[in-house]
Amino acid sequence: MKTVLKTVLKTDLNTKQWLYCVLAAIALSSPVYAADVEWRVPTSVPGGSPFYENFLERFADNAEMLTAGRVDIRPFGAGVIVPALQVYDAVKEGTVEAGHSTPSYLVNQNPINAIFAGFPGGMGSQAYINWIYEGAANKRCKKFALAKGCIH
């Protein structure tokens, strides 16, 4: 140990230069982890809204935590990347990797979207959830969405 210390002290490096060398060695020797998957995810709701914070931001945080940083989901509020009502189109066209929206914004494109988005005068929330997840709606919704190039 004494010989190493004597060798270091005999060099012409001053303390500042020596510190820079040590920091560079540490930085170069530590592994840098980058995400294997990076998705930009726009939404139809404004950033900072309860839906944005409680669903999209939480989902992004959980995905990062559960994958040890291998998946990086970056949420964007309505209008930041694409207009709020064009999230589905942006995903379909490949502008973004994923999107967070509701089929109710697509009713003008195809009225069947109203059935999958819920509508006034329709089923109550519990009946609707049962119909979607345990009835025939889930298969029909997936079939309809896949025909349009989306996953719902």
Which tens digit of pLDDT belongs to each residue from 21-45?
A: 544 445 444 455 567 889 999 999 9
Which tens digit of pLDDT belongs to each residue from 65-88?
A: 999 999 999 999 999 999 999 998
Closest CA to 43 of 105, 94, 93: 105
Cα separation, 124 vs 118, whole angstroms: 9
Cα separation, 88 vs 149, whole angstroms: 9
Residues 6 or more apart whose Cβ sits within 8 Å of residue 151: 142, 145
